[in-house]
Structure 1
Amino acid sequence: MKNNTKSLTRIAIFTALICVGAFISIPMYPVPITLQNFFVFMAGLLLSPVEAFLSVLIYIILGLVGVPIFSGFTGGIQSVFKPTFGFLIAFAIGGYLISKLTKDTISRKKIFITLIIAEILFYLIGLPYLYLILKFYIGKAPESLMAVLSMGLIPFIPGDIIKMIVATAITPKIKKALQNENRN
């Protein structure tokens, strides 16, 4: 029971952090700059694969049932028709993947490479979803691949690199502290 309570607490904490990350944003159309992916990185780096996945999934479910926790203080089932929803789907998969690939490591090199892979996954899922929603639902399809990249990728690269560097720098210290705490 004690481990189950700890697991639920970890999931809840990271769900809350992802919510906070959505609120810390710079509005841009159609994709705002937020700290969500940073907290997804941290969930994947510090939780088990299932816990990391569930922390994002619960965030998504809460938003879909109407709690205004998505970027811009929005929520509701209609959020699946927002151009950014594909990124949320990718975050759940990415959190699981990050945890799976870094579970037993404090190697900064492995952590950073894993975060690059996760970020690529975010864009591989998020950008096509963005395009499809803009084209078929909103009716304002970008005219070229470069236009899609200009909307949903290029402006985010510098911030994503900074988030990856920070997550890579702090994770080994946090993991060591958690290991020491578990020994006591």
Structure 2
Amino acid sequence: MTLTTSRLTRIALFTALIAVGAFISVPIGAVPITFQNFFVIMAGLLLAPADAFLSVLIYMLLGLIGLPIFAGFRGGLQSVFSPSFGFIPGFAVGAYVIAKLTQGETRPIRLFLATVVGELIFYAVGLPYLYYILQSMSKAPESFYALLAIGVIPFIPGDLFKMVICSVITPKIKKAIK
């Protein structure tokens, strides 16, 4: 697959949207509530798998080289030591899987189910990282439930809302693009 101008533009657009989503942030503890996952999900629903992955990977690399595009206007290599950083690689894998599961799909229920899988991947990568970083700071939660209370439970209502919205608007966007 060659990188055409059109593909590069779409990848760059979603990279920028993910960065904008990070700026829409509500700090509630170790992991802020952001709008990043909305744009990561949309990248997965609207781009080819490799392109969805690349859009998140480029976002992550731009942040790691120092651009303040992570939540809280942070950036740089020190961001790797943030408890919430582990969700970003999870976003890359999740976007790829969502895109793989939804190629050619326009039925909202199927799109929604793919977003559920993607969100589970976000958490499967992000939560162990969150625990590890908190443990290295001597702030590790004492139980698995306490970890969920920090890194999952507060996010469920918003994530479900974003997943439903993405699943409903995607068919309309795909139709408009064609």
What band does the TM-score fall into relative to the shorter chain? Answer: over 0.9
Match of 1:166 in 2: 165
Corresponding residue for 2:57? 57
Report the Cα offset of residue 141 of structure 1. 0.9
Alignment of 1:79-98 (within 5 A): 79-98=79-98
Q: In structure 1, what is the equivalent of residue 100 of structure 2?
A: 100
- 1:89-168 superposed matches below 5 A: 89-136=89-136, 138-168=137-167
Cα offsets for 1:127-175 (capped at 9, x unmatched)? 1110001002x12111111110000000000000000010011000001
User: What letter matches 2:157 in structure 1?
Assistant: P
Unaligned 5+ segments in structure 1 are 180-184
**What residue number does 1:177 align with?**
176
- Seen in structure 2, the aligned counterparts of structure 1 residues 63 and 113 have a Cα distance that, compared at 3 Å, is same
**Matched residue of 2:86: which SS?**
helix
Letter in 1 for 2:138: G
Whole-Å Cα distance in 1 between the matches of residues 113 and 8 of structure 2? 28
Correspondence 1:20 to 2:20: yes
Task: Report which of the two has the higher share of helix.
Answer: 1
Query: Number of residues paired by the alignment?
Result: 177
- 1:182 aligned partner: none
Distance 2:5 2:125 in 1: 33
Change (3 A) 1:3 1:142: closer
Q: Which TM-score applies when normalising by structure 1?
A: 0.94
Structure 1 outlier segments of 4+, above 3 Å: none
Q: Distance in 2 between matches of 1:156 and 1:95?
A: 18
Secondary structure, in 3 states, of the residue corresponding to 2:142? coil
